[in-house]
């Protein structure tokens, strides 16, 4: 079972649908739900967590499920693989102490992403892909303990992962059909062996 935190993206349902198509059932919670619901689901055997995209800024939002989960993963209280998508990517960067700010180009649509390190989530993915990007906000620096995995002409950190914990994040939307190899990226995360 995959826990998907819905941060308000119009594409969150596509994450759940892609998970199901890949053989993984998803449970979706809105980011303003009480944390107790997460605790109940964790007892029921959640295998990994995805933080979806969304229209808000990590600075203007009050504490929500995405910030609480990212902090609890950071502190070792939750030891499950975590994937952040767009807003989720920015929230992970923010919780781990990196600066998040407006992108230099507030583009929304197709862009080219260069994969700098294959790592686990880009296994079998070409070195360059067209992806559905949103750069209204973006991580401006790499959090301590993370490795940069991808970049684009307008964004230096299109994807990253923690060096020791199974934490991954992408600035673009792999769940949208426009993103080349997006299903492969999600499959790689869903099948990632944290051991």
Q: Which residues carry out catalysis?
A: 86, 173, 175
- d(CA 151, CA 48) in angstroms, rounded, equals 25
SS3 89: helix
Which contacts of 31-35 are long-range, i.e. CB under 8 A and separated by 24 or more positions?
31/5, 31/6, 31/7, 31/64, 31/65, 31/66, 32/64, 32/65, 33/65, 35/65, 35/68
Cβ of 56: how many Cβ atoms within 10 Å?
18
127/36 Cα distance (integer angstroms): 41
């Amino acid at each position: 079972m995959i826990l998907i935190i819905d941060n308000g993206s119009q594409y969150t349902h596509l994450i759940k649908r892609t998970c199901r198509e890949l053989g993984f059932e998803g449970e979706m919670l809105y980011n303003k739900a009480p944390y107790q619901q997460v605790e109940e689901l964790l007892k029921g055997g959640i295998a990994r967590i995805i933080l979806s995209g969304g229209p808000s800024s990590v600075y203007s939002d009050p504490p929500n499920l995405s910030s609480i989960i990212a902090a609890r993963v950071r502190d070792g209280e939750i030891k499950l693989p975590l994937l952040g998508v767009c807003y989720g990517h920015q929230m992970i960067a923010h919780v781990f102490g990196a600066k998040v700010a407006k992108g230099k180009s507030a583009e929304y649509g197709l862009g080219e992403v260069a994969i700098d390190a294959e790592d686990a989530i880009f296994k079998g993915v070409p070195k360059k892909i067209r992806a559905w990007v949103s750069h209204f906000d973006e991580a401006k620096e790499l959090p301590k303990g993370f490795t940069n995995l991808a970049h684009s002409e307008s964004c230096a950190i299109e994807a990253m992962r923690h060096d020791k914990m199974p934490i991954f994040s992408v600035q673009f939307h792999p769940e949208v059909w426009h993103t080349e190899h997006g299903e492969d990226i999600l499959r790689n995360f869903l099948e990632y062996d944290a051991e």
